[in-house]
Amino acid sequence: MKLPPFNKRLESIEPSRIKIDFTKLKDPEVLSLSIGEPDFETPWGISQAGIEAIQHGYTFYSDDAGLPSLREEISSYVKRHYGLHYEAKDEVLVTVGASEAIDLTFRAILNEGDEVLIPMPSYISYGPLVTLLGGVVKPVVIKEDKKFRLQPEDLEKAITPKSKILVLNYPHNPTGAILEKEDLERLAPVIKKHNLYVISDEIYAELTYGKKHVSMASLPDMKERTIYISGFSKAFAMTGWRLGYVCSSKEIIAHLRKVHQYAMLAAPTISQFAAVEALKNNEGETYKMRDAYDERRKYLVQALRDIGLSCFTPEGAFYVFPSIKKTGLTSDQFVTQLFDKEKLLLIAGNGFGEAGEGYVRISYAYSLDKLKEGIRRISKFLKEI
């Protein structure tokens, strides 16, 4: 018996190009520099807070918006670091990772045919989520010669009467680009002119090198239209704890919360107790990890250039996005042949959209020893081809 068809929109979406192939990783000869996951363990004080929550029996559902104590800490944290003012009670929502925050935001705002402007290359999740909801993805290409920063004139050209949301993901995955205050100030008038919502995915905000992160939500008249999204995975090495948060106006949060109540109910309580400890007492651990990433970043950019690959200098996150155009290979060919010959896993740049063709993404959320071995294998491969 043939079952009824699946969701037609889902059928039109390709499987994620960024997925962990555990069968390959089991091979001891395989080296992966592909995953955007800190190689640091969760700082012990944070883990201890989670353990103590279990020991004290705090394994119940929390308030659907999140533990009040955690929302208070999030409110204090974003004010302290980024000058953002959100009321803990009704302008902060705790989610199952930043991923849920992104998903429920699209679901709360988009109607059939609404357009979402996405700077490309882009983190892989935005486009498929828009498509599943019947929205329309409008790519806005960001270019290496502009430091992969979204340009207001390019944004203006892409906007139509159906445009509703602009997604900003800075510090940027996959390029490591950032937007400085002057960049945001040039974009804001375009956003206001066309009355757009802004989904500002700032999960890498703590990981900038030499320049302090600035949020679009901190600019005048931008808070009420900006959905600020972040989480604990990158800054506190808490990927498996699955905890994020979203901050915005009372009206927006009320709509997001309604979706969250039906789809997820509440984020993991144990993780929330751990997150309170992270924000209160573990910022120093974040700085230590950031310093380590910075050392790896500097090494990797120079090493890639030394072996003949041009590479934009990232100023945030923990990725480099070198060009492989001079090899004559496509991104897919480069990644496939590199793995076949050297058993090194990278991510093809076109996995982040067509604008990523001619590039590969390398994560430096790995030890210096692994990065050096990776460079050795890439260098050997380049000589062979």
Give the model's confidence band at 19: pLDDT under 50 very low, under 70 low, under 90 confident, else very high.
Answer: low
136-169 tens-digit pLDDT: 999 999 999 999 999 999 999 999 999 999 999 9
Q: What is the pLDDT of residue 18?
A: 65
Residues 6+ apart with CB under 8 A from 3: none
Q: Pick left, alpha or beta for residue 8 (phi over 0 → left; psi -120 to 50 → alpha; otherwise beta).
A: alpha
- Kindly tell me if the per-residue pLDDT of 242 is higher than 80: yes
Whole-number average pLDDT of the chain: 96
| Nearest to 255, CA basis, from 87, 102, 109, 94 | 109
Q: At what angle do helices 269-281 and 68-82 cross, to 10 degrees?
A: 40
Dihedrals phi, psi of 40, to nearest 5 degrees: -85, 145
Q: What is the pLDDT of residue 1?
A: 83
Give the model's confidence band at 24: pLDDT under 50 very low, under 70 low, under 90 confident, else very high.
Answer: low
Q: Give the span between the Cα atoms of 320 and 315, in whole angstroms.
A: 10
Give 11 or 19, the one with higher predicted confidence: 11
- DSSP annotation of 170 reads S
Output the DSSP codes for 68-132.
Answer: HHHHHHHHHHHHHHH-----TTTSEEEESHHHHHHHHHHHHH--TT-EEEEEES--TTHHHHHHH
- Kindly tell me if the per-residue pLDDT of 204 is higher than 70: yes
Q: What is the pLDDT of residue 253?
A: 98
What would the mean pLDDT of 34-51 be, rounded to a whole number? 96
What would the mean pLDDT of 174-182 be, rounded to a whole number? 98
| Nearest to 83, CA basis, from 215, 182, 210 | 215
Sign of torsion, CA 161 167 172 175? negative
Q: Which residue is listed with tokens 């199952």?
A: 96
* 355 neighbors 138 (Cβ within 8 angstroms): no
43-99 tens-digit pLDDT: 999 999 999 999 999 999 999 999 999 999 999 999 999 999 999 999 999 999 999
Q: Give the span between the Cα atoms of 170 and 4, in whole angstroms.
A: 41
Q: What is the dihedral of CA 121, 158, 162, 12, to 10 degrees?
A: -30
Q: Which residue is listed with tokens 């290496």?
A: 144
Is residue 139 helix, strand or coil? strand
282-330 tens-digit pLDDT: 999 999 999 999 999 999 999 999 999 999 999 999 999 999 999 999 9
Q: What is the pLDDT of residue 270?
A: 98
**What structural domains and CATH numbers belong to the chain?**
8-42+284-384 (3.90.1150.10), 45-282 (3.40.640.10)
Cα distance between the two ends of the chain: 51
Q: What is the pLDDT of residue 16?
A: 76
HSE at residue 10, side-chain half, CA atoms within 13 A, is 3
Quote the percentage of the chain above a pLDDT of 90: 92
- Kindly tell me if the per-residue pLDDT of 121 is higher than 80: yes
- Kindly tell me if the per-residue pLDDT of 21 is higher than 60: no
Q: What is the pLDDT of residue 294?
A: 98
